[in-house]
Every structure is written in structure tokens, then in C-alpha cells.
């Protein structure tokens, strides 16, 4: 398992950047539900021995445990999201960028620098750096990944109670065979992203 470090944050702090945000999104490739972005600033007291890694390689139980454990080591964090309706209207890339901006704007303190997982980002009012697979290498991004994943999964589980036909609690809105079968039988609901080609009845899979 590859675990993230705080080496990059330390390098930035020596350059005068004290409040460094780690940012990651969850749900970009789903066919239903929101895209969720977390912005997080870790406390300086975050223990070196605490191992963080990409949320996608952790079990649900492990993510939930870490989600609870890291709360005391967060200086601040916030969640921004874009709904399926916004994704349908603007496209997934623009909707994700909107969620990134929202997550930063909702932080209660002003940050100095942002480290963002991925390759694309909106225009921001602070210096930032895009990092490919940042959730595997940068501690603050890994923390954001876990917080965003748990937040989105809980939301999808709640939506599963309201829309029980689709099994959102199981697949979390991703295009599994069972999910697509339910869409073909029941049609889409308001949380589906209708731009995906898998919603064409002539196409069997994404």
C-alpha cells in the first residue's frame, strides 16, 4: 500500500505558505449522484505515524474508522458539491470545478496555497498546484479523499432509502451491471446523469 507523506507541504511551508489546502473529488466517473469535493487543512500536530492513502483502496470499514480518527487533526475542512442536475447542465468537468470553488469558499479561514488532485482546475484566487494521483502521495489530499468519499457514500446511502429501486447504497451511483439493469427497467431518476451513453437503450454498458 502506497501511503501519502507531508513532504510537499513541508517544502511549501519553508517558502512561507502556512495554510495549505489539500483538495480531492469523489464521484467524477459515476452515472448518478453528485460530485463531491473536500478541501482540508491539517493541523501541524498531525502525527507522522498516522498512515493515509487513497480512499479508493480502503475498505468501507477502514475509511469510516479513519474518517473518525482524523477529525482531531483537522484545522478546518469543508465540502463542496455539484448535483446531478448541474452536471447534466454544465458537464462533469465544469461541475467539478464549481464544486472545487465552493469547497474553498466555504472554508472558515483564508488559505495560502492549494494542492489539488488531478490535471484540471478552475481559476482560483490563490496559488495552487495540480498533482496527478495526489491522493497517493500528498497527505492533505489523501485526507480530503477519505473525507469526500465517506461524505458522498453516506449521501448515496440516504438516497437509496428514497429511491430503493436502484440500489444506490451498494454501487454508490457507479455504472455497475446491476445498476444499468435497474435503469433499463425503471428509467432514470432525478439523480442520474443523463449525458452518459449508457442511458441510450441501444447501448448495453458504459
Q: Return binding residues for a divalent metal cation.
A: 24-25, 117
Report residue 10: phi and psi, to 5°. -65, -40
Query: 49 vs 31, 139, 143, 169, CA distance in Å?
Result: 37, 12, 14, 33
| Sign of the torsion angle spanned by Cα atoms 110, 114, 117, 122 | positive
Please answer whether residues 36 and 26 qualify as being in contact, where contact means their C-beta atoms are separated by less than 8 angstroms: yes
DSSP string, 15-78: TT--SEEEEEEE-TT-SBS-EEEEEEEE-TT--TT-----GGGS-HHHHHHHHHHGGGGEEEEE
Task: Detail the residues annotated as belonging to a binding site.
Answer: 24-25, 117
Q: How far apart are CA 134 and CA 142, in angstroms?
A: 7
What is the bridge-based pairing of β-strands 74-82 and 35-42?
A: antiparallel
Where in 69-167 does DSSP place strands (E)?
Answer: 74-82, 113-117, 128-131
Which residues are CB-contacts of 29 (< 8 A; sequence separation ≥ 6)?
174
Q: How far apart are CA 154 and CA 121, in angstroms?
A: 26
Amino acid at each position: 500500500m502506497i501511503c501519502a507523506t507531508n513532504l510537499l507541504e513541508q517544502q511549501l511551508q519553508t517558502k512561507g505558505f502556512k495554510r495549505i489546502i489539500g483538495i480531492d473529488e469523489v464521484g467524477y466517473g459515476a452515472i448518478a449522484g453528485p460530485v463531491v469535493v473536500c478541501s482540508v487543512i491539517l493541523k501541524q500536530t498531525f502525527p507522522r505515524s498516522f498512515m493515509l492513502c487513497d480512499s479508493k483502496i480502503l475498505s468501507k470499514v477502514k475509511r469510516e474508522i479513519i474518517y473518525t480518527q482524523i477529525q482531531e487533526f483537522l484545522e478546518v475542512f469543508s465540502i463542496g458539491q455539484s448535483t446531478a442536475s448541474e452536471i447534466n447542465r454544465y458537464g462533469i468537468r465544469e461541475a467539478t470545478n464549481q464544486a472545487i470553488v465552493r469547497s474553498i469558499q466555504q472554508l472558515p479561514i483564508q488559505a495560502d496555497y492549494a494542492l489539488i488532485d488531478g490535471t484540471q482546475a478552475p481559476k482560483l484566487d490563490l496559488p495552487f498546484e495540480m498533482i496527478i494521483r495526489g491522493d497517493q502521495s500528498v497527505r492533505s489530499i489523501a485526507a480530503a479523499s477519505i473525507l469526500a468519499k465517506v461524505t458522498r457514500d453516506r449521501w448515496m446511502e440516504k438516497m437509496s432509502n428514497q429511491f430503493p429501486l436502484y440500489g444506490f447504497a451498494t454501487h454508490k451511483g457507479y455504472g455497475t451491471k446491476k445498476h444499468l439493469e435497474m435503469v433499463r427497467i425503471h428509467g432514470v431518476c432525478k439523480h442520474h446523469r443523463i449525458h452518459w451513453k449508457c442511458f441510450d437503450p441501444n447501448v448495453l454498458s458504459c
